[in-house]
Structure 1
């Protein structure tokens, strides 16, 4: 959503924000990094800015690819070790770094669970409610939801260590703020980048997908985790 909001206020159409992921990690291109980056930069340059989104768990693989190591088995890397991230940071060291965080990590885990289970990742204005209705029959899968939760917590810690290690002053955006305050939540980023939004501000192109079902699942997950922690504290020596 943040990626599309940014393109929208700059006056551009929709694009693949995770082109680095789809090209290198998912498709496992055999092109060199130089040629791959030329392709990505051509596709994802808007208003003079090359705009790309990455998630922590595959950054180490991107870093290796930049160094000339083909991506073979890109299992998630959730721990920050400088030697595995150095080439990524060196190449993008002059970038404007933007850290997008969802404060409610329980809701974030539920959103990922629903998206991956239904293969529904977005909702556009004017779309039918079919995508929302298809989530209402989803069962509560405690083990899978907890796996998403712990993964997101590890990624959050990994990004903080990455930014601290390289002394990066990232623009911080919370998902909750982005949902509630479009387009003003982007003003700090626009100022940092030295670009202007088009006027008048266009209406948002992407809508919040979650509904009351998400809220109920998140509440149940939160209760389960807190109960588990409490029970563990009772038996701990």
Structure 2
């Protein structure tokens, strides 16, 4: 079994709410949709430990799994562990679990220092997992300031993507020609894009891109100064 990391920004819709399964623990399934399609995630927490499978790409298979888990709650850990990318950490192997709500970061760290990020969603799934850990596994609760890397890693990815898009946008404005006559399929759209590129021009394109980059950097600096806190459970 291998670790699966998933930190893409997205729109999330839960498969179900967190399901209390009595002595069998708590089950939290959810599905995340973005431009690349959908990925489903599921986490189970009980007194024995935490089991998860992240980044499942087949909705039908995920739905069937959730159905099997509902029918066999006492087999949840085993069934999830059998999935591709399924992982299990027993209580004795877990060092700490941290949750930074403002940064949407939930991290499980084992005794060897290996970290597993749990994918975010829009319906407090990370919070539900963290609360389930406290409920079933206990641990010493505390709070700490988020480190600088935790704060800047998200904006850095955003800046990298935006720099690529912004660079192409500026380049496009430099090649837009007022005498261009579009032909072939989608000629109207081509003509419109050329007109927009020429009208905006490279100077204003650079100003727009620069302003947005400055905004992202400014918001990141504010967070660095503010230093969001994260909740900690040490087991």
Query: Relative to total residues, which structure has the larger strand share, 1 or 2?
Result: 2
Query: Relative to total residues, which structure has the larger helix share, 1 or 2?
Result: 1
Q: TM-score, normalised by structure 2?
A: 0.25
Q: TM-score, normalised by structure 1?
A: 0.25
Larger of the two Rg values belongs to structure: 2
